[in-house]
Amino acid sequence: MAILSALLKHDVMLACDLARLANVRKKRGQMAKKYFLRNAAQWDALRL
């Protein structure tokens, strides 16, 4: 992780890519949570 930290200080594109990746992961997690909350009642039927 120390190498990555050092790279971030010198590589703006890498830092931007990692920030974008973090946002994508956050949004996907939010979408998954919303999906599950909408479908929790019939989850057993959906899994089949």
pLDDT in tens, 8-29: 677 888 888 889 999 999 999 9
Non-local CB neighbours of 18 within 8 Å, separated by 6+ positions = 8
Q: What does pLDDT average to over the chain?
A: 86
Is 47 part of a structural domain of the chain? Answer: no
How far from chain centre, in Å, is Cα 39? 21
Q: What is the pTM of this model?
A: 0.64
Is 14 part of a structural domain of the chain? Answer: yes
Is 27 part of a structural domain of the chain? Answer: yes
* Full residue range of the structural domain in which residue 25 is found: 2-40
How far from chain centre, in Å, is Cα 7? 22
The token pair at 25 is: 């992961």
Is 34 part of a structural domain of the chain? Answer: yes
Is 48 part of a structural domain of the chain? Answer: no
pLDDT at 1: 61
Which residue is it, tokens 């050092």?
A: 6
**Number of folded domains in the chain?**
1
Higher pLDDT among residues 7 and 41, named by residue? 41
